[in-house]
A and B are shown apart, each in its own frame.
Chain A
Amino acid sequence: MDILSNLAFGFGHALTPHNLLYCAIGCTVGTLVGLLPGLGPLATISLLLPLTYSIDTGGALIMLAGIYYGAQYGDSVSAITMKIPHASSIVACIDGYQMTLKGKTGLALFTAGVSSFIGGTVAIVVLASLAPSLGEVALLFGPADYCSLMLFGFCCVSFVTTGSLLNGLAMCLVGVLLGQIGTDVESGVQRFTFDLPMLSDGVSIVSVALGCFGIAEIAKNLDAKEERTPFNGTIKLMPTWPEFVRIIPSALRGSVVGSVLGIMPGGGPVIAQFAAYALDKKTSRYRHEIGQGAIEGVAGQAAADEAAARTSFIPLMSIGIPENAVMALMMAAFILKGVQPGPNMIAKHPDLFWGLVASMWIGNCFLLILNVPLVRIWLSIFRIPYAVLYPTILFFCCIGTFSINNNFDDIFITAGFGLLGYLLMRLSLDPAPLMLGFILGPMLEEYFRRAMTISRGSFSVFVTQPISATLLACIVLLAAWQVAVPIFRKRMPGPDRRDGAV
């Protein structure tokens, strides 16, 4: 009953005319930008973060959340119709694009829309039930536990986003070091500022995000010189009853998988999609059709994608630790608005928390109403030549950076991060873990210093505290897994090796 009354309280806030408007704007703009080539949810949020500066806190967070799941949806539309996944809709390409090739684009988009709605709804129930109780668990955490939790998050994100613990962890550490630039809050000493006044307050998260994900992505796309063909097929949206019935079980399975994986450190939409797809391939009645354009191949992953996108808010809002790069950016948005996510957030700002939860369901409805019937209009975005798009994106990067401090010098910092991001991309180093390290770095240092002060300089505190010791043991297992798998693969003769093929 508590949840119902809390949700009613949240809907009271989310259904005010201006919050409804911000939610609608967020969903629309998110879908629009999410469709653009090379712009996934991470780039979209960083590009549009400055737009929320002049909006009140509740409205800004509702709009940013709308941008996030709107961008997720936009991403899946481009994946289904043109096999262009940006960041998060890799799995949607498999069966979604196969359905397009069979002339069932409308059905694929309808399936994705309805499944996302189901996934989002299930996830909101999970979010509303779990976040407050997880917040109470977070109060048991001490400084050493928080340090270990962040390190565990680094390892999980590294493993999931890059596939290589070594590369991802290195990027997290680079991010942590970049987060040290500026004035040390405890001693007032300037660190790594090279006596430049513009660095004394540290580097802005917006500069890092726009540089690494906006500018670097543009340069990479220009290097590729890809010509994108606009979608010109026919779209028949409404499915038949037997087709509609096939969507539901798969979407429900995907919702559960997505809701669970969204909460795990390092989890999030991408891994949830793969897991839901794999589960459907094993358990669905139509598993033999999956991979060749089956409804289940779209429904499960779309529901998991949307569910994970929403439940990944749980660790952020209840523990105060973002579990992936997008959530790290959302955390930056919370902090910019003067709200510290963590165990006390729900108690201190119940209107923000429950308003955001309720707005997610309203956003779900907006996405369904806006996107399914209006998909043809969205697809016309692909007719805009990239030669027009990228100078426009660059302009928004400049305005976004400038508007933080009304200082043009910040654009030089963004440009610098653009160069760094481009070099890292060319070195096959994913900037997403860097972002997480950058945001969590100052917090990690604070908790590390506190843990060391309490333990009088002894590292044993990390293994004597049960929570911390468990998390460190998980890190060791993850590292051992990463080392062991290639060795086992080399030792086990594969069928191709037996044949002598390379």
Chain B
Amino acid sequence: MPSRSLARGVVLAALSVLFGIGALRLPIGRLSHAGAGLFPLLVSGLLLVLALVMIARSAVAGSDPLYLNLKNIAVILCGLAGFVVCCRQLGMAAGIVWLVFVAALAGTAYSWRRNLVVSLALGAVALAFQRFLGLDLRLF
């Protein structure tokens, strides 16, 4: 299992490199007349320095295992993506049903009856938002 402190440094270094490369493609200008890329380049450089310090410290510090359970977050993201697709194609009512039934897969106990009740209740909430708060929600 990878070390948490090492992973922390590596992820932050990757982010700084990503933004740093993006900033280099923008006009940099001079300090007295900064271009669009100067400030993000300075910030990503500073972030890279901090990330390298973290990586160096991880070599000295004891190993702290990284725990990652991607199943639950993947199920939730799948529920959200499906919600968008259903809302566009079929309306928000279908989106709610998809979201509730898929997101419930991440829980410990699955009950389609409970999911149905939750979907109906959320449908009623969406209807109330549409009527009383004027939100542009197309249910069907």
Which A positions have Cβ atoms within 8 angstroms of B?
51, 54, 166-167, 169-170, 173-174, 176-177, 180, 184, 186-187, 189, 191-192, 215-216, 218-219, 222-223, 225, 386-388, 390-392, 394-395, 397-399, 402-403, 406, 408-409, 411-412, 414-415, 418-419, 422-423, 426-429, 445, 448-449, 452-453, 455-459
Contact = CB atoms under 8 A, between A and B. Distances in A.
Most buried by A among B15, B88, B134: B15
A452 B35 CA distance: 12
A459 B32 CA distance: 10
Contact of B50 (A169, A180, A386): A169
A373 to B, nearest CB: 28
Contacts of B135: 399, 402-403
Interface of B: 4, 7-8, 11-12, 15-16, 19, 22-23, 26-27, 30-37, 39-40, 43-44, 46-47, 50-51, 53-54, 57, 66-69, 72-73, 76-77, 79-81, 83-84, 87-88, 95-96, 99-100, 103-104, 106-109, 111, 114-115, 118, 121-122, 125-126, 129, 133-137
A45 B135 CA distance: 19
B3 to A, nearest CB: 11
A453 B76 contact: no
A395 B31 contact: no
Given A387-B114, A423-B11, A426-B67, A406 B72 contact: no
Nearest to B10: A427
Q: Decide if the interface of chain B is mainly helix, strand, loop or mixed.
A: helix
A391 B99 contact: yes
B12 A170 contact: yes
B44 A177 contact: yes
Given A187-B35, A398-B80, A398-B83, A192 B72 contact: no
B102 to A, nearest CB: 9
23 contacts: A51-B133, A167-B54, A173-B46, A176-B43, A177-B16, A189-B36, A191-B37, A216-B73, A222-B107, A223-B69, A386-B107, A388-B118, A391-B99, A391-B118, A398-B99, A399-B129, A399-B137, A402-B135, A411-B83, A411-B84, A453-B32, A453-B33, A457-B32
Given A219-B76, A411-B83, A428-B4, A406 B136 contact: yes
Nearest to A225: B108
A215 B31 contact: no
Contacts of B11: 423, 427
A392 B123 CA distance: 11
Nearest to B129: A399
A452 B34 contact: yes
Nearest to B88: A408
A387 B115 CA distance: 9
A419 B73 contact: yes
Nearest to B78: A415
Closest 10 CB pairs of A and B: A457-B32, A457-B31, A189-B36, A184-B36, A219-B73, A173-B47, A415-B80, A222-B72, A387-B107, A427-B8
A222 B106 contact: yes
Contacts of A176: 43
A395 B107 contact: no
A170 B99 contact: no
Given A174-B12, A225-B108, 7 more contacts: A169-B50, A180-B39, A223-B72, A390-B103, A391-B104, A397-B80, A399-B129
Contacts of A218: 76
Nearest to B111: A387
Given A398-B83, A427-B4, A456-B32, A170 B43 contact: no
A459 B31 CA distance: 9
Contacts of A170: 12, 47, 50-51, 54
Contacts of A394: 76, 79-80, 99, 103
A414 to B, nearest CB: 7
A216 B76 CA distance: 10
Contacts of A397: 80
Given A406-B136, A427-B66, A390 B15 contact: no
Given A177-B44, A411-B80, A415-B81, A189 B66 contact: no
A288 to B, nearest CB: 38
Contacts of B106: 219, 222, 390
B99 A395 contact: yes
B52 to A, nearest CB: 11
B80 A418 contact: yes
Nearest to B123: A395
B50 A173 contact: yes
A186 B115 CA distance: 50
B77 A415 contact: yes
A227 B121 CA distance: 24
Most buried by A among B19, B76, B103: B76
Nearest to A176: B43
A177 B26 contact: no
Contacts of B95: 398
A215 B76 contact: yes
Contacts of B26: 189, 191
Contacts of B30: 457
B40 A177 contact: yes
A166 B54 contact: yes
Nearest to B45: A173
A174 B47 contact: yes
Contact of B73 (A177, A403, A418): A418
A177 B79 CA distance: 28
Nearest to A185: B36
Contacts of B118: 388, 391-392
B7 to A, nearest CB: 6
